[in-house]
Structure 1
Amino acid sequence: MLATRNQAEQATSRLFLRKPDRLWLHYCFALVIVLCLIIATYVLNRGMVERGLVAANGIAKSNEHILLGQDIVTMSDDMVVTDETDTATFNKTVLRFETVYADIVGTQIRSDTLNDHFFGQGENLNQNLRAFVATAMQFSDAPPENRQDLNIRLNRIYNSGLQTQLRLTTKLLAQQIAGEAAHFMTLQRAMLAASAVLIVAEALFIFLPAQRSVQSSLRAMRQTTNELRASQSQLEKMNAQLEHTVRHNHLTGLPNRKSLTAYLMDGASSKKIGQCSLLLVGLDDFKSVNDMMGHDYGDALLIAVGQALKSCIDHEDLAAHVGGDEFAIVSREATPHLIQRIMTSFDDPFEIKGRRIPIHASIGYIEISDCAKAPLDILADAEIALQFAKNNGGGRVQAFTQHLRDDLSMMQQLQLDLTDAIRNGEIEPWFQPQVRLADGRLHGAEVLARWRHPTRGLLTPDVFLPAAERAGLMIDLDHAIWRSAMDHAKDWEVSDVWRPVISLNAAPDTISDPHMLERFLLTLQRSGLDADQVIVEVLETTLINGKDDIAAINIDSLADCGIALELDDFGTGYASLSKLTQLPLAGIKLDRSLVAPLPDQAADSVVRAILALATELGLHVIAEGVEEDEQAAHLSARGCGVGQGYGFGKPMPAGEFTRWLQIHAKTQLQAGPDMARFA
């Protein structure tokens, strides 16, 4: 029995001796678990914070990506409107746009949803973005006249899907981090529960640091969430401001061309516009306001005009500033009444910074109905009508008709044909005789241009010269006519028909060409004519609008080379007397509008005054439009030296003029209808 008791004591002793060991092991095991939990919590917290920072950076990059896309669209719209040629800022923005996209795609936060959003099947973000960037680069490299279509394509790509996909990127990133945060919270609760059990049982002091770490992490997460929410709210406000900026003119505050187009499109799709009219109001000679008073006055004038036009319409109608000095109005009011009110608003000068600035306007308009054309076509038709109103002197109202578009198409076709026509010699010189009124002998001949078009027949200058001016071909056309005319003149001299003196018309662009003198003298030298056998006629507008005084320099240089110069159509323009005295002119040509009424007393008074002025300045005078002998005698009696007109001979091609010379070159001529019928 004693042995049994000893055995029990030994067993109890072993139990108590082993219990501390077991408790220590348990404690160590529990402590290891707690430490592992703490380490795991720390690592998870750190990883989540880092993931949160990465997500915040990704969302910030995504927001920046949206702003850059909107900047590209806005800048392209501005460059189209202002014909801006400096694309450095635009290219820099496009490059930044691509860089930010690469940063977003390379972010560590990636999921199947994001991968599918970026590179998935169908229309994904990567495809639209590449198309957008490619179009932007084409827009940057394109000349200003070709940017309109690229700008439309750029806006279409951005507005039809890319903008929504960019915003969706931000949303998906936020959803991704939200999901990870939820998963983290689940793990966190489990680890906290396990830690609490172990801490209460074994190591209460271990729980507090872990709990503090958790709370700190949670506070960081809440702060990050609040910052992201604030950033999103700020972004929404900026988006609203950008949307307003994109759709309104920054100067006048009126809706811009984009808003106008959207208004017409919305009205057409919803059939809310009904019967109305689109008016384009263009300010006449607005450039002179900027040139004489400065752009501050010009900008203030545009603002005042915009407000004046807005006051002319009802609140449900639209007034827009579509660019430059052009405004647009869409109104349901009867067009004649609205036009009258608009034109009346320009009767009085505008008060701008204490100065009264007079300005007038031209209006082109088109009636719109439910079955009208597409909005862009409507706007283009109104532009055509406005251009015709301005081309016809300004201060006019022009309704669009199909005839205007046909005329424009014909003008454009003529512009395309002109280059080949000049190269192929289809533009040919015609000659009209000039006769000395004192003795009736041939004085010279004016060279006039005619176009023998292969399909349209013979075209006069009033048909093709406007096309040549718009196509920038006046310089080449003038030199081609001069070269051909000089060759014909030399043939007459060699054949002893007549020692020619020919008058060559020089367009303003030609006389203002820096290379005009060299080309002219080379042509003259190759023809074999002497300098006194060629006269150059210039228009009054050339004297007024010569580019950088190049026209005056060329005139002086021609005079120094012995080339006589005459002022054409004197009496119809506004050349100042100072210009007549400053430039080495040899003579002036009286316009036919002053000669036709003679011997009317009022017209005679004007002619005598001009002849007296010419005598004082030492200039000879050639009268245009002489058709009757009575006019020739009257002009001769007043001291006019030379006459030109159908009374002495109509303009003739070289072959016909050669026959005319063979008969009349060495005879005394008398004005009359028989000369005009010469064939």
Structure 2
Amino acid sequence: MQKRLPTSGPILCRREMIAFVPAITLAWLWVGVEAMILLGITALIVAYMTRPILPALDQPGRETDHATGLPLREEGAGLMQDMIEEAARSVRSTACLVVGIDDATRLERQLPGAEFDEIMRRTSERLAGALRDSDMVARLEGARFAVMLKPTPHPDLESMIQLSVRLQSATEEPLSIAGRELSITTYAGFCLLKRCPNATGDKMISAAETAAEEAARNGPSAIRAFSPEIRRTAEIRSSLSTDAGEGLENGDIVAYFQPQLSTDTGQVTGMQAVPRWLHRDRGILTEEDILPAVAAAGMRKRFYEVMMYQIFSALRTWQRKGEICGPVSIPVNDELMANPKMAERLQWELDRFDLDPSLIRLILQQNVIGQLKEDIVAHNLASCRKLGCHVELAGFGNGPASVSSIKTANAQRLRIHRSFVTQVDRNPEKQQLVAAIISLAEGMGVATLAEGVTTIGEHSMLAQLGCNHVQGRAISAPMPLDETHEWLKRHQARLAKTPQIDTKRGA
């Protein structure tokens, strides 16, 4: 093992010394100076032996991370290989964890380089402080760390989850950076040696990274264990990323549209645009596959250009045919809203297609809602509202959206998350929660839309509770543009046969 150095300050300031203070005092009072000195020396030894440690920085020719002093991936793989070989000799087992900072790209973009490096350094120290002296830490690409565990008799799923939670707790304590308090969250993925056939150090780190990437996709502070299924999913995503460019240029990635209805009149009050990939081998793929593939291919900008063109073309087509389908809701994420030219580009497209800006509803995704007060995001949002575009908040009730974010965004509509909508007709608790959200929205003069409505019973209950609009497979699955024309005709024909309720409850 490598030589290590203490990283947490003078030994006399270590918290392990506190437990010895009463004993040292009593030894002096009851026995004498000799006993007090003996206990004091013992306390110093304990504090030294339990200090948090990191790899030494003074090894000639050794490449380390400039911010943390940790070894980089190549050396980390070598350390993991040492652990694997030691486990084989001792008939024990080992594991590898990868811990990363959630939303690190945004954090790095917002902070000066020195402050971001300080976060990396402090996070690495906290990881080391929560581990055993014999465990090792390395810095991976981006804001990620690999943890190589000293072999133990029986590492299992439960113990690894507990360790992951402990590491998250250690790293998520608030940080004081440049005179202000900053909070971060971390995700974790791990791989047990027995889950990695023909394991090498590099394979173990790669497997833990695969699990960590899955955790990162599942929200803040998520934890995932490596499994063959996760590997297969990652391989599919990797292969899709190589096809993404071809799919965009060949017209295989297209906009589908899902109708939104008024619960008062049954009329179509809008459409939501969703991406679909007509993949030659895998059939129709949804945004869950498309967005990661496009991101991995580095083609997010091109993806949004293609989608916007198809959405505006659809609006022009509906106008020419005299079909009334209301505004189109377009999901926008933090990357799009952080583009200083986003509003300017949107106005250019509207002018190009000669469209009224009120035909566009921007759905602020959850990763945007937490950034509403950032300069560029706030500027883009204000510019879009000035153009005449509508704004709605996604996933209300299951994310960061709050009363203050409704006011800051000046949102015209809240989208009630599908987790509250599912079986709302049979679940009194969900009915109370949805009623509370609707009451809040009405009090603020904001309309509501329920996402993911899958049954007539849910639709009916939401109407009774006062939700203004509904969207989901109970109304229609997302469909390509050419199918919307016939659907609109059929829907209008059904409405003509249905008695209308004369109410005016919401916009």
Q: Is the 8 A contact 2:160 2:190 kept in 1?
A: no
Distance in 1, Cα, partners of 2:139 & 2:449: 48
For 1:644, the equivalent position in structure 2 comes to 471
SS at match of 1:513: coil
Distance in 2, Cα, partners of 1:539 & 1:457: 27
Could you say which structure has the larger radius of gyration? 1
TM-score of the superposed pair, with normalisation by structure 2: 0.71
**Per the alignment, do residues 633 and 371 of structure 1 end up closer, same or farther by CA in structure 2, a change over 3 Å counting?**
closer
What is the number of equivalent residue pairs in this alignment?
427
Distance in 2, Cα, partners of 1:590 & 1:301: 36
One-letter amino acid of the counterpart of residue 478, structure 1: Y
Deviation, 1:508, is 2.6
Distance in 2, Cα, partners of 1:506 & 1:522: 17
Deviation, 1:396, is 5.5
CA deviation string 1:357-395 (max 9, x = no partner): 997662412416998344333332332233333433465
For 2:137, the equivalent position in structure 1 comes to 320
SS at match of 1:443: strand
Larger mean CA deviation between 582-591 and 251-260 belongs to 251-260
Deviation, 1:255, is 6.4
Q: Is the 8 A contact 2:394 2:416 kept in 1?
A: yes
Q: Does 1:517 align with 2:343?
A: yes
For 1:299, the equivalent position in structure 2 comes to 121
For 2:155, the equivalent position in structure 1 comes to 335
For 1:632, the equivalent position in structure 2 comes to 459
Of residues 205, 210, 225 in structure 2, which corresponds to 1:384? 210
One-letter amino acid of the counterpart of residue 339, structure 1: M
Distance in 2, Cα, partners of 1:633 & 1:413: 43
Q: Is the 8 A contact 2:126 2:170 kept in 1?
A: no
For 2:93, the equivalent position in structure 1 comes to 276
**Per the alignment, do residues 367 and 398 of structure 1 end up closer, same or farther by CA in structure 2, a change over 3 Å counting?**
farther
Larger mean CA deviation between 421-430 and 244-253 belongs to 244-253
Of residues 239, 250, 254 in structure 2, which corresponds to 1:428? 254
TM-score of the superposed pair, with normalisation by structure 1: 0.55
Q: Is the 8 A contact 2:453 2:459 kept in 1?
A: yes
For 2:363, the equivalent position in structure 1 comes to 537
For 2:49, the equivalent position in structure 1 comes to none
Q: Is the 8 A contact 2:271 2:325 kept in 1?
A: no
One-letter amino acid of the counterpart of residue 658, structure 1: H
For 1:182, the equivalent position in structure 2 comes to none
Q: Does 1:562 align with 2:427?
A: no
Q: Is the 8 A contact 1:251 1:303 kept in 2?
A: no
User: Percent identity among equivalent residues?
Assistant: 22
Distance in 2, Cα, partners of 1:529 & 1:661: 21
Distance in 2, Cα, partners of 1:544 & 1:370: 38
For 1:603, the equivalent position in structure 2 comes to 430
Distance in 1, Cα, partners of 2:116 & 2:348: 43
Q: Unaligned regions of 5+ residues in structure 1, if any?
A: 1-239, 312-316, 672-679
Of residues 53, 56, 59 in structure 2, which corresponds to 1:243? 59
Deviation, 1:557, is 0.9
Q: Does 1:589 align with 2:427?
A: no
SS at match of 1:305: helix
One-letter amino acid of the counterpart of residue 404, structure 1: I
Distance in 2, Cα, partners of 1:410 & 1:666: 43
For 1:161, the equivalent position in structure 2 comes to none
For 1:441, the equivalent position in structure 2 comes to 267
Of residues 436, 461, 465 in structure 1, which corresponds to 2:291? 465
Q: Is the 8 A contact 1:478 1:505 kept in 2?
A: no
CA deviation string 1:137-190 (max 9, x = no partner): xxxxxxxxxxxxxxxxxxxxxxxxxxxxxxxxxxxxxxxxxxxxxxxxxxxxxx
Of residues 485, 488, 497 in structure 2, which corresponds to 1:661? 488
**Per the alignment, do residues 498 and 347 of structure 1 end up closer, same or farther by CA in structure 2, a change over 3 Å counting?**
closer
Deviation, 1:414, is 1.6
Q: Unaligned regions of 5+ residues in structure 2, if any?
A: 1-55, 499-507
Q: How does 1:365-376 map to 2 (within 5 A)?
A: 365-367=191-193, 372-376=198-202
Q: Does 1:400 align with 2:226?
A: yes
One-letter amino acid of the counterpart of residue 410, structure 1: I
More helix by share: 1
RMSD: 4.0
Q: Is the 8 A contact 1:541 1:573 kept in 2?
A: no
SS at match of 2:436: helix
Q: Is the 8 A contact 2:130 2:170 kept in 1?
A: no
Larger mean CA deviation between 363-372 and 526-535 belongs to 363-372
SS at match of 1:416: helix
One-letter amino acid of the counterpart of residue 420, structure 2: L
**Per the alignment, do residues 412 and 283 of structure 1 end up closer, same or farther by CA in structure 2, a change over 3 Å counting?**
closer
Q: Is the 8 A contact 2:188 2:215 kept in 1?
A: yes
Distance in 1, Cα, partners of 2:283 & 2:419: 29
SS at match of 1:331: coil
For 1:153, the equivalent position in structure 2 comes to none
**Per the alignment, do residues 370 and 575 of structure 1 end up closer, same or farther by CA in structure 2, a change over 3 Å counting?**
closer
SS at match of 1:385: helix
More strand by share: 2
**Per the alignment, do residues 543 and 286 of structure 1 end up closer, same or farther by CA in structure 2, a change over 3 Å counting?**
closer
One-letter amino acid of the counterpart of residue 277, structure 1: T
SS at match of 1:545: coil
Q: Is the 8 A contact 2:254 2:276 kept in 1?
A: yes
**Per the alignment, do residues 242 and 481 of structure 1 end up closer, same or farther by CA in structure 2, a change over 3 Å counting?**
same
CA deviation string 1:75-110 (max 9, x = no partner): xxxxxxxxxxxxxxxxxxxxxxxxxxxxxxxxxxxx
Of residues 502, 527, 536 in structure 1, which corresponds to 2:328? 502
SS at match of 1:565: strand
Distance in 2, Cα, partners of 1:358 & 1:543: 16
Distance in 1, Cα, partners of 2:155 & 2:84: 19
Distance in 2, Cα, partners of 1:669 & 1:495: 20
**Per the alignment, do residues 254 and 447 of structure 1 end up closer, same or farther by CA in structure 2, a change over 3 Å counting?**
closer
CA deviation string 1:555-592 (max 9, x = no partner): 21111111112112222111232221122322121122
Distance in 2, Cα, partners of 1:556 & 1:357: 27
One-letter amino acid of the counterpart of residue 435, structure 2: R
Distance in 2, Cα, partners of 1:499 & 1:359: 41
With CA pairs under 8 Å and 6+ residues apart, which has the higher RCO, 1 or 2? 2
Q: Is the 8 A contact 1:622 1:644 kept in 2?
A: yes
Of residues 293, 300, 319 in structure 2, which corresponds to 1:474? 300
**Per the alignment, do residues 413 and 549 of structure 1 end up closer, same or farther by CA in structure 2, a change over 3 Å counting?**
farther
One-letter amino acid of the counterpart of residue 320, structure 1: V
Q: Is the 8 A contact 1:349 1:356 kept in 2?
A: no
One-letter amino acid of the counterpart of residue 341, structure 2: H
SS at match of 2:431: helix
Q: Is the 8 A contact 2:269 2:327 kept in 1?
A: yes
